[in-house]
Chains A and B, each alone.
Chain A
Amino acid sequence: MAEATISATGVGKRFLLHHQRATSLKERLLLHRRSTSEEFWALRDVDLRIGGGQTVGLIGPNGSGKSTLLKVLSGILAPTTGRVAVRGRVASLLELGAGFNGELTGRENVYLNAAILGLSRGETRRYFDDIVAFAELEPLIDNQVKHYSSGQYVRLGFAVAVHVSPDILLVDEVLAVGDESFQRKCLTKIAEFQERGCTILFVTHSLDLVPKVCSRAVVLDHGRVLHDGDPVEATERLRSLLGTAADQSGGAILGPDRPRFARARLFDPTTGIHKGHYSIGEPMVVDFDVAGPHGAPPVSVRLAVTGPADVPLWVMDSDPLVFGPDGIATVRFTVKELPPVKGIFAFAAALRDPGTKVTYDARRFADAFLAVGDSAKGIVEVAWTAEQVETPGEEERDRAAGDRRRSEL
């Protein structure tokens, strides 16, 4: 078994911040003595080895060097110190449609882009139909790309990037662009790559996603590796770094006198630890803290678990909650067994008056959890059988056909 890896040894990246940048020979001559520049180390002594089908989250505050590291690892930027060694094909989802030429048709661009990403023409031909189908662009594939909408453009770029069968996938904040269905598609694709044993390194700012998707996380701060290991621990360290450890609420606050969701927690009932990555059939528990003003009327919580295209898979309603003296009520939804449906699910939670059904607060928790199973079996597990049956003889079939003809008349 061959292992595709990216290893970085003592990698440092220095940028020169020119106060007056000489971009022409004239300026170069004139600025020869006066040109001042400041050194800035975007990365310092980074030792990292990723491979072995791990999914590694790369997190850190803004400007901590995440994107620079990704670019150095993918060979776009050369490290100032240290070295980077790559084994295997690297595809990155930071370049969606970067090589496209507007004058060419979608078909021509697919071939061109795939060639740039290292595919032979034969390989591209093999993947071509899948790429077009994935991008949902069959009717437009022979149109010039300049006539595509930006969504179509990104879809085609994404389709090419994920179909080059990479060994290592680099993902930079793709989850921040595109609409929800596109994001979900990305996550589904990532789950698919994970099952195929592809090594994934992805940069993200959505810390909730990290423990859900990653088996390992790296925290960067000021260009140095602060933590490399357990993803839950990584997000905690980053949260404490960002000073947001306690505050996970956010979202809509609908005035001080109305009940609202204060906090949601998703965990494994057997261990009590936060968990976003489930196998089907496992139990799952969600707690919601609801804050209400003193003397507020009782409220009930309706929780819908939604799958692709925001279709509610099932809906759970709580009994009316009574607020305690601290103005907080907690409701716990327990799912004894996750149904045999795989994918990425979201929660849509609503806080309602049990009598009038007036909604006080509604929140959507996108990409709340991931349920995995054997993807070769499709997304739904259904009880089914397959058996060999006796086929009717030829005469019998003819007679049946004759009967049908008669009945049609």
Chain B
Amino acid sequence: MAQTQSAVDARAAAQTRVRFELLVELVRKDLKVKYKNSALGFVWSLATPLLYLIVFTVVFTFLFRGVDNFPVLFMAGFLVWTFFNLSTLTATGAVVGNANLVRKVRFPRIVLPLSSVGFGGVHFLLQLAVLLAVLAVFYRDAFGPQLVLVLPALAVAVTFTVSMSLLASALNVRYRDVEHLLEVALLAWFWATPIVYQATLVRDRLAGKGLSWLFQLYMANPITAVVVAMQRAIYNHPVVKGQQVLPADGYGFYLTWLGVAAVISVVLLGVGLWTFRRLQADFAEEL
């Protein structure tokens, strides 16, 4: 076994460090398992945004008179919410669901929640591609320089989602309540985020009651910052028929709140990593 010391160390590290290859393999597994016995397989997850677009177009064109092109506004926020929602919920069960592995095999446990985020991420990217393809035909307004705003928004979304996933997956090992608690919390969270309604509505109502400071708190929700930035990037019409749909015209507002969200996300990521590291020593015993 003549080999360099570094090769031995590298092999030891391959079993304890997070390797991209392992993440890819785990995401691939999750995708394969999810679509194993369905004839259309992946098409289902691609069809979801299309279906939403159609339903919302019908509902909001014929039943309710909402903002022009409301389905586009909705989808811009909804897809990124789905990414956050799906990833966090999948991650919550990731360690518990792989108990067999955790109890028996030496590998970096942190890849379990990370691969859940990867799983949500793959779905999100494909759905975003479908949405953009549809918009390329029906909603040309989406394509302009403002679309670049998607990139910082997604960076924040990923950081925040990873931090929440780490926290949820680690805590769920000790307290299985986390799973149920999170489901309820995410439902409330969904409505606390301007996806179905517009952020300007909240701002105006609060301002009317002299509670403008509460709006600052409302915007400090990292997902809200991401959602409004996505809406600005894709919907691209701050004002429609004299009505303020998006909270601001320029990009300063969005970038400022994304900055706040980034700081919050990075701090939470630190907390998440610390919590996961601390709790993972007991995973094999708790499961």
Taking a contact as CB atoms under 8 Å apart, the answer to whether A98 and B101 are in contact is yes
Task: Report Cα–Cα, A25/B171, bound state, in Å.
Answer: 11
Q: Which residue of A lies closest to B180 (CB)?
A: A24
B11 at the interface (CB under 8 A from A): yes
Taking a contact as CB atoms under 8 Å apart, the answer to whether A89 and B285 are in contact is no
B: interface residue count bin = 35 or more
Min CB distance B93 to A, Å, is 15
One of A15, A26, A118 near B285 (C-beta < 8 A): A15
Taking a contact as CB atoms under 8 Å apart, the answer to whether B5 and A101 are in contact is no
A309 at the interface (CB under 8 A from B): no
Chain A residues, CB < 8 A from B25: 111-112, 115-116, 121
Chain A residues, CB < 8 A from B16: 75
Taking a contact as CB atoms under 8 Å apart, the answer to whether B177 and A25 are in contact is yes
Min CB distance A385 to B, Å, is 32
B32 at the interface (CB under 8 A from A): yes
Taking a contact as CB atoms under 8 Å apart, the answer to whether B8 and A77 are in contact is no
* 0 or 1 for each of B168-180: is its CB under 8 Å from A? (1 = yes): 0000001111000
Taking a contact as CB atoms under 8 Å apart, the answer to whether B105 and A116 are in contact is yes
Chain A residues, CB < 8 A from B176: 23-24
Taking a contact as CB atoms under 8 Å apart, the answer to whether B175 and A76 are in contact is no
Chain A residues, CB < 8 A from B19: 115
A101 and B284 in contact (CB under 8 A), knowing A1-B1, A111-B25?
no
Taking a contact as CB atoms under 8 Å apart, the answer to whether B33 and A94 are in contact is no
Task: Report Cα–Cα, A99/B28, bound state, in Å.
Answer: 14
Taking a contact as CB atoms under 8 Å apart, the answer to whether B104 and A98 are in contact is yes
Taking a contact as CB atoms under 8 Å apart, the answer to whether A87 and B8 are in contact is yes
Task: Report Cα–Cα, A23/B282, bound state, in Å.
Answer: 14
A53 at the interface (CB under 8 A from B): yes
Most buried by A among B101, B106, B175: B106
B58 at the interface (CB under 8 A from A): no
Task: Report Cα–Cα, A92/B105, bound state, in Å.
Answer: 8
Task: Report Cα–Cα, A92/B101, bound state, in Å.
Answer: 12
B48 at the interface (CB under 8 A from A): no
Chain B residues, CB < 8 A from A115: 19, 21-22, 25-26
Task: Report Cα–Cα, A288/B29, bound state, in Å.
Answer: 56
Q: Which residue of B lies closest to A13 (CB)?
A: B285
Taking a contact as CB atoms under 8 Å apart, the answer to whether A24 and B175 are in contact is yes
Chain B residues, CB < 8 A from A118: 11, 14-15, 107
Taking a contact as CB atoms under 8 Å apart, the answer to whether B106 and A98 are in contact is no
Task: Report Cα–Cα, A111/B22, bound state, in Å.
Answer: 10
Number of A residues whose C-beta is below 8 Å from B?
Answer: 45
A88 at the interface (CB under 8 A from B): yes
Within 8 A of B (CB), among A166-195: 167
Chain A residues, CB < 8 A from B1: 1-2, 4, 53, 167, 196-198
Taking a contact as CB atoms under 8 Å apart, the answer to whether A120 and B29 are in contact is no
Taking a contact as CB atoms under 8 Å apart, the answer to whether B15 and A77 are in contact is no
* 0 or 1 for each of A194-205: is its CB under 8 Å from B? (1 = yes): 001110000000
One of A2, A24, A120 near B5 (C-beta < 8 A): A2
Chain B residues, CB < 8 A from A99: 100-101, 105
Most buried by B among A1, A28, A75: A75
Task: Report Cα–Cα, A15/B181, bound state, in Å.
Answer: 29
Within 8 A of B (CB), among A83-139: 86-90, 92, 94-95, 98-99, 101, 103-104, 108, 111-112, 115-121
Task: Report Cα–Cα, A370/B4, bound state, in Å.
Answer: 32
One of A88, A103, A144 near B12 (C-beta < 8 A): A88
A74 at the interface (CB under 8 A from B): yes
Chain A residues, CB < 8 A from B181: 25
A78 at the interface (CB under 8 A from B): yes
Chain B residues, CB < 8 A from A197: 1
Taking a contact as CB atoms under 8 Å apart, the answer to whether A89 and B105 are in contact is no
Taking a contact as CB atoms under 8 Å apart, the answer to whether B2 and A1 are in contact is yes
Taking a contact as CB atoms under 8 Å apart, the answer to whether B12 and A87 are in contact is yes
Min CB distance B272 to A, Å, is 19
Chain A residues, CB < 8 A from B63: none
A24 and B106 in contact (CB under 8 A), knowing A98-B101, A99-B101, A118-B14?
no
Taking a contact as CB atoms under 8 Å apart, the answer to whether B5 and A104 are in contact is no
Taking a contact as CB atoms under 8 Å apart, the answer to whether B14 and A89 are in contact is yes
Task: Report Cα–Cα, A1/B11, bound state, in Å.
Answer: 15
Taking a contact as CB atoms under 8 Å apart, the answer to whether A167 and B8 are in contact is yes
Chain A residues, CB < 8 A from B12: 4, 86-90, 167
Taking a contact as CB atoms under 8 Å apart, the answer to whether A78 and B282 are in contact is yes
Taking a contact as CB atoms under 8 Å apart, the answer to whether B284 and A116 are in contact is no
Chain B residues, CB < 8 A from A26: 177
One of B3, B7, B32, B104 near A104 (C-beta < 8 A): B32
Task: Report Cα–Cα, A185/B33, bound state, in Å.
Answer: 32
Chain B residues, CB < 8 A from A3: 8
Min CB distance A200 to B, Å, is 13
Sample of 18 further A-B pairs with CB below 8 A, known A24-B177, A118-B107, A197-B1: A1-B3, A3-B8, A4-B1, A25-B181, A28-B175, A76-B103, A76-B104, A78-B282, A86-B12, A89-B11, A90-B15, A95-B105, A98-B101, A103-B37, A104-B32, A108-B32, A115-B25, A167-B8
| Sample of 5 A–B contacts (CB below 8 Å) | A24-B177, A88-B9, A89-B15, A98-B101, A101-B33
